[in-house]
Amino acid sequence: MPECLDCGNTEQNPNPLDSCSRPACDNPCGAGPSNTPQCETLPSQIENFTLQFFGEVVKTEQNGKVVWSLPCGLDIGLPNNPRGVGEGLACYFLRLFETGITGLKGDKGDQGNAGVNGNNAYSVTLRSFHQPSLAAPSIQVQTQFNPGVGLDGSYVFIDTSGWYQVTASDGQGNLSLVLIKLSSTPAGATVAAGKLVIVTGPPGASIKGDKGDAGVPGPPGPAGPEPTATNGFYFPQGGATTNANPDVTYAVLNFTSSNMQFLAPKAGTYLVVVATTIVANAGATSSDGFFMKVVDDSVASDVGVEMVETGFNVGDHRVMSITAIVHTDSDNHTISVYGKQSVLGHLNAQGFRSQLSWVRLE
């Protein structure tokens, strides 16, 4: 420690009381007789700096070392910006200044508007067609239009017919297809309307492995439910005598004692497709109209929307179609196609060019 200057020599010691009367000012370890703002000891300065910079520090002894626990969570840091292990406080502050502080997650926002309904992942055939072969694989098939079914170059599977590659589509449901592989359950020479059309990948190669050893017979299972039809097809046959000549009020379309309807055997959801050709007879005018709708007779309720065709000239042939989703809450509902015309006898529905098909979806 430097010696005290001569208290009587004012030239060498202009403030003799600071160094002589209060030696603590020049003694880092001394406490001195008093501690004033003009003469504060180093221990007092360190204590004041620690308190003002950190706040109240909790000190503990661990393995012979004094460990500080800093207040305000400085040991941990901010929730979204934690302090690194062994990272000094100054380095931690510098990192926050350089990278910025990530705020806490805010409250959940309001629910957005509901999206629009998507398209079905399937379609159905609207007309029957002759089953092509691998030797003559090209075919055109009319389907219910679905923008997701029938993209050029994609593959589709038609129930009971086979796998096809799409070569062209007119944007209205008419698909040009090339047969790639026949179905394992072929329908025969003619594939009826109302068959599901499903987007798929190219069919895999059939590889037959070696026959495995016979397994141990298992116990007999419980009796399964009785089989029920999951699809059907109505196609009135015959010539002109089977045409339907509906009244001016709605009634089931009748093709010579053959009503255009089917029985939905089980409760569920059914896809119903109707197509019929309307012929304008003598006397028909452009103001004549032909009306059709699908009705669940079991609950006397219309299904879907009413369809109407107008603007006929004598001799015209117009195809009318309806696609409807029918929901039944019990077994054995009768689903019918109703028709009427604005002037009796002006318009007929041709029986040999009319068809009704249905598929149980679930």
- Given a cut of 50, is residue 119 above it in pLDDT? yes
Torsion, Cα of 144, 350, 347, 358 (10° steps) = -40
Interval 162-209: pLDDT, tens: 999 999 999 999 999 999 999 988 878 999 999 999 999 888 776 778
Among 89-93, 228-232, 324-328, the range of highest mean pLDDT? 324-328
Please write the tens of the pLDDT for every residue from 239-289. 445 788 899 999 999 887 678 899 999 999 999 999 999 999 999 999 999
pLDDT averaged over the chain?
Answer: 84
Residue 2: helix, strand or coil by DSSP?
coil
The contacts found for 203-207 with CB under 8 angstroms, 24 or more apart, are 203/155, 203/163
290 pLDDT higher than 70? yes
Exposed/middle/buried for 197, CB within 10 Å: 0-12, 13-18, 19+? buried
Question: In which element (H, E) is residue 274 found?
Answer: strand 268-280
Residue-level length of the chain: 362
Burial-class residue 123 by CB neighbours within 10 Å (0-12, 13-18, 19+). buried
pLDDT tops 50 at residue 89:
yes
187 vs 70, higher pLDDT = 70
Cβ atoms of 193 and 173 closer than 8 Å: no
Q: Which domains does the chain have, with CATH numbers?
A: 16-99 (no CATH), 122-200 (2.40.10), 232-360 (2.60.120.760)
How much is the average pLDDT of 108-117? 89
Q: What is the pLDDT of residue 225?
A: 55
